[in-house]
Amino acid sequence: MYARPLGPGAQLAPLEPWWAEEFLAHFDRCRAYITPWVGRNFVATDLESAEAVLRGYWDAQALTGAGIHGIRLDGVLVGGVMFASIDAASGVAEVGCWLEPAAEGRGLVTRAVGLLIDWAFRERGLRRVIWHTLSANTRSIATARRLGLTYQEADGSGDEPAEIWSTTPEDWFGRRDAGAEEAADAASDEDRIDALAATFFDAFTNADGREVDLGSLESMFVPGAVVVSHAEPVKVETVEQFLTPRQKLLHGGELVDFREWETSRTTLVSGNVAQRLVRYAKSGVLRGDAYTGSGTKCIQLLRTPAGWQITGITWSDDTSE
């Protein structure tokens, strides 16, 4: 069995069927976090289904090479990467990934997927690798960008809007020849802001019984940061004034199955300051009634010794007028 290093204390190795018990325990730790973004067939609920998931990939690997590989951090399974499919006739493979929140921010998925793409082009001789993700999954899209994949098209065939990103051998190895391998390990400013924004929006999710802790977001803001909302009169709040009632709303059962996500974004970085203009959508069940909404956020950021931090947010929900 091989094991490839991914960084300090981290390695990539085959995720074989006899790992089913550990795979299930890992999935139980992050079920609410991962379930919205993966296919239903991937969601293991007991030992039998966990073994079925892994055996399905094991059988596919024997036929086409489309296997599944686990990411271990300090000996603990925290996520993985896989080929969702390999079509030898068309020369196209689809890659995918998942990761526990505690293991994020280390570049593990970026490096692991990079190994799969290298193998697909060098060893398997494929002509295209695609990355299929829901449009609401901003973390996944940020990873596609870090890998240097190119947006290919929108996919509206499912229940939720999705996107397809891709790369070819010419693009992939051209980036590497230009020194992009180091750039993939050291995220650009825009990548870091992507990750910060993804964490911010994701923190408000309480779908599938997930616990919400908005207090964890305070470290994202510089002291004295403000949140301004469009109202009559305009409402200006401190970060604490903004987060406290939303924590109560999301934690007390009044608003459940809530998600909020970016539908489009533009980030402008100039030296040590940046601005991110976001269109967002949201859905949930408020006091027993389902609802959806959308709006615009403008996020101002400053580069600090702690990294990029938010100096202010201006936001406005869309109205029916």
pLDDT in tens, 74-92: 889 999 999 999 999 999 9
CATH class, domain 4-187, is alpha beta
pLDDT at 155: 85
Q: What token pair was written down for 119?
A: 């193998």
d(CA 282, CA 174): 39
The hierarchical CATH code for the domain 199-317 is: 3.10.450.50
Q: What is the mean pLDDT of residues 216-231?
A: 93
Residues carrying CATH 3.40.630.30, the chain: 4-187
3-class DSSP state for residue 148? coil
Cα–Cα distance for residue pair 151/1, rounded to 1 Å: 35
Q: What angle do CA 246, 249, 253 make, to 5 degrees?
A: 150
Say what the pLDDT of residue 37 is. 85
Averaged pLDDT score across all residues of the chain: 88
Contact 184, 114 (CB under 8 A): yes
Position 178 pLDDT exceeds 70: no
Give yes or no for residue 129 having a pLDDT over 90. yes
Buried-exposed string 11-50: b where 16+ CB fall within 10 A, e elsewhere:
bbbbbbbebbeebbebbebbbebbbbbeeeebebeeeebb
Q: What's the confidence (pLDDT) of residue 1? A: 54
Half-sphere exposure of 65 (CA within 13 A, CB side): 17
Q: Give dist(CA 81, CA 96) in Å, integer.
A: 6
Residue 42: what pLDDT? 84
Whether the pLDDT of residue 26 is over 60: the answer is: yes
Give mean pLDDT, residues 157-176.
86
Residue type, 199: T
**Start and end residues for every CATH 3.10.450.50 domain found in the chain:** 199-317
- DSSP element (H, E) containing 311: strand 307-317
Mention every residue, 6+ apart, whose C-beta is less than 8 A from residue 229: 235, 237, 314, 315, 316
Q: Which comes out higher in pLDDT, residue 156 or 320?
A: 156
Indicate whether 230 pLDDT > 50: yes
Q: At what angle do helices 108-122 and 169-177 cross, to 10 degrees?
A: 120
Residues 258-287, mean pLDDT to the nearest whole number: 90
Residue 177's pLDDT is 57
Report the 10 Å Cβ neighbour count for 4. Answer: 12
Helices (H) and strands (E) in the chain, counts: 8, 14
- Among residues 200, 81, 198, which one has the least CA distance to residue 136? 198
Query: Over 90: is that where the pLDDT of 62 sits?
Result: no
